[in-house]
Structure 1
Amino acid sequence: MTSDPYGKLTFDQTVPRSLAHRQAVGEVFVTDSAPGPDGDFLVAVQVPRAHSLWFDRLVPFHDPFSTAEAARQGSFVVLHRYFGVPVGLPFSLLRWQFRVHDLAAYRDDERSPLQGVLRYQVNDKSKGGELGDLTLSGELTIGSSTAMSFNGDVVFFGKADYAALREFQQASKPPPDPAASAVTPLDPALVGRRDRRNVVIGDGERFPYVIDTSHPSYFDHAYDHVPGPFIVEGFRQSAVVAAVRAGELPSPVAAVLGCTTTFGSFGEFGALLECSAEVTGAAGGRVTVAVELHQYGKRLASAGIELGPYPA
């Protein structure tokens, strides 16, 4: 990596929204990209200060989840610009993992947007020139600090193959369940939020999802399944509530220090989608929570969430 990762990149405007898989320009966090010196790729990102979701917090720190979303968008920019993946090709993110290494780098100076440089390495597992599985890994630099590392697996489908897959999956869906649209969101303070619109779970033996397709960020564009970033936010909120109720986390105002998610199947609209969360460890002020996604009596995805306090 170059000694000055900012040197090649600008933060003057966003990339075309289609490259980041967003409909609203205000939801695009990637501003520039360039090939790196060692077969890697550099991506500049900036998160707006007044974003309705990512500014909804109770501490003077930017949300690490916002940079995980920026890294997700940046991965698509890299794949479209440098690997020939056509825009609009269906995909599935099978696994996504990140770890925060320097939470202090996220401190909000209340003057500047959060911005940094992502560095990606891509392992293309495709064979015979056909698109298939790709693994991405990298790190986020904020200022002079390595703030986060991440890696993930994504698979792309031909449009006809994806259409056939979804037709097969949806053909076996039961009729819509009225309970899916009747979930009352938790109080925002219980999940470290201020705005009820950004609460994505309700209460119960398991945490049911509150699916509001009018949400401008989680449902930025039309989906034929419940989107992954929305599901992962539910993982985070479920983990926070479970950890506080177990007496292992003193406050719901906590940082996500690590997150590993694995997806096995799509979450469908029109049916109750629920999260289970169980504390699996606590030491040194950090709490680990195992989370699972359930629908139709099946486990669709799982995650491990590590929570901890913000610096004083």
Structure 2
Amino acid sequence: MHHPRHTNRRDTARDNGSDRMRVLVHKRRGDQVVLGAIQERSPGGFKVSLSAAGLETFLQGRSTNIQPMIIAEALRQATILAAHELFDVPRGWAFLMDRLVVDLTELPEQPDLSAVGLSLSTRDVVTRNGRLSSLVSEVVFLVNDVRVAHGEGYLRVLEPRVYARLRGQREISSSLPSPGLEGGFRLHDVSTGPQRRWHVSIDPGDPFFFDHPVDHVPGMILFAAAIDGVSRASGVSANDLAFFDGVFDRFVELTEPLSLIVDLHMMAADHLEFEVSADGSRGSHAFRARLLVRPGPAVAQPGTSSVRGPTSRESVDRAQTADATHTIAAACVP
């Protein structure tokens, strides 16, 4: 796979404003950037606004998953930005998101997204030979300095030669036909029993998920598909997502069949807990996640006991951690 030439942060001096931000969050099109300008810096972190233009583009092309998708994409872009801006990772290196945590329990029902900013800090920073190897970003979303959401991104970084050796010659998204699916993917119900299962069709022509050519299914598609699957299984709006903790076990190849499995794990008075996994052609999980949604009147099931589930903070503390067998992530950002 082709990667841009190596540069360091000093090489970005000629980039300015939105164009510089576009480059640093790995976007080819400026209207796909959801971050605005960095407003304040601190050791190991920064504060940044959301981009009005990016939000407008996003809202025009999507009718569901709006709040969770914007928060998750802003977290993802901010984590990439942190690696370049705070740790001088050269352009062209491969970025792998092993795990993504998004907590929306404090988000108002109809937030003013244009008023949202975020504050990022980093922890568990690992370097090898003077270069960043991995980090965890902690991102807090704020409106008038009041926290409305937060999340974590577990990032690894690979040199281009290491990534090329790992991936070899794979199909590239730009070489595949676009079926013109709304939202970049479609779920086809193939359930045969109480377990809900969908086949996932991917549209490599979608500008949000495939802003630039990639050699795998982007992790954000798995994030969006998981929310969509839970919404369909529960009858709850995707915007009622309260918590997401997902682990990307491996790459999902662009041409391999992909199935999404949704299981109701627990019902409580204030939330429903679902376990979601995505299986490919290799017979093993490519992705697994735990989601909490706020229940609506349509999802109550008679004969099911209510058991108190963990709070969102407890969820983060005990949530899945990518173990040594998780050699690669589905959410790579070349």
TM-score, normalized by length of structure 1? Answer: 0.76
More helix per residue: 2
* Residue 137 of structure 1: how far off its partner (Å): 1.3
Aligned 1:7-156 pairs, distance under 5 A:
13=18, 15-33=20-38, 36-37=41-42, 39-46=44-51, 48=54, 50-52=56-58, 56-57=62-63, 63-104=67-108, 106-108=110-112, 113-156=114-157
* Residue 40 of structure 1: how far off its partner (Å): 3.0
Cα separation, 1, equivalents of 2:64 and 2:221: 20
Residue 289 (1) aligns with residue 294 (2):
no
Cα separation, 1, equivalents of 2:140 and 2:183: 31
The count of corresponding residues between Structure 1 and Structure 2 is 269
CA shift digits 1:111-131 (9 cap, x unpaired): x73532333234311233133
Aligned to 2:256: 271
Farther-moved stretch of structure 1 (35-44 vs 17-26): 35-44
Larger relative contact order, structure 1 or 2 (CA cutoff 8 Å, min sep 6)? 2
CA shift digits 1:15-36 (9 cap, x unpaired): 5311111111000011122554
Percent identity over paired residues: 20
Cα separation, 2, equivalents of 1:37 and 1:90: 25
Aligned to 1:160: 161
Farther-moved stretch of structure 1 (32-41 vs 19-28): 32-41
Aligned to 1:300: 286
Residues 137 and 154 in structure 2, CA contact (< 8 A), matched pair in contact too: yes
* Residue 243 of structure 1: how far off its partner (Å): 2.0
Counterparts in 2 of 1:183 and 1:54: CA distance versus 1, 3 Å: closer
Farther-moved stretch of structure 1 (50-59 vs 146-155): 50-59
CA shift digits 1:41-95 (9 cap, x unpaired): 2222235453355763379xx6132022112101111211121111221121001
Counterparts in 2 of 1:46 and 1:28: CA distance versus 1, 3 Å: same
Partner SS state of residue 226, structure 2:
helix
Cα separation, 2, equivalents of 1:136 and 1:117: 12
| Structure 2: runs of 5 or more not aligned | 1-16, 192-196, 297-334
Cα separation, 1, equivalents of 2:50 and 2:58: 18
Cα separation, 2, equivalents of 1:139 and 1:225: 29
Counterparts in 2 of 1:287 and 1:80: CA distance versus 1, 3 Å: same
Partner SS state of residue 210, structure 2:
coil
Partner SS state of residue 98, structure 1:
strand
Counterparts in 2 of 1:19 and 1:38: CA distance versus 1, 3 Å: closer
Residues 177 and 205 in structure 2, CA contact (< 8 A), matched pair in contact too: no
Partner SS state of residue 257, structure 2:
coil
Residues 181 and 211 in structure 1, CA contact (< 8 A), matched pair in contact too: no
Counterparts in 2 of 1:56 and 1:183: CA distance versus 1, 3 Å: closer
- Which amino acid counterpart does residue 295 of structure 1 have in structure 2? G
Residues 116 and 141 in structure 1, CA contact (< 8 A), matched pair in contact too: yes
User: Pick from 206, 214, 221: which aligns with 1:215?
Assistant: 206
* Residue 101 of structure 1: how far off its partner (Å): 3.6
Residues 291 and 304 in structure 1, CA contact (< 8 A), matched pair in contact too: yes
CA shift digits 1:117-173 (9 cap, x unpaired): 3332343112331331211113111223201111121111111111111128x5xx9
Aligned to 2:8: none
Cα separation, 1, equivalents of 2:29 and 2:177: 25
Cα separation, 1, equivalents of 2:109 and 2:19: 23
* Residue 262 of structure 1: how far off its partner (Å): 0.5
- Which amino acid counterpart does residue 71 of structure 2 have in structure 1? T
Cα separation, 1, equivalents of 2:266 and 2:91: 42
* Residue 309 of structure 1: how far off its partner (Å): 5.9
- Which amino acid counterpart does residue 276 of structure 1 have in structure 2? I
Counterparts in 2 of 1:38 and 1:220: CA distance versus 1, 3 Å: closer
Residues 30 and 73 in structure 1, CA contact (< 8 A), matched pair in contact too: yes
TM-score, normalized by length of structure 2? Answer: 0.72
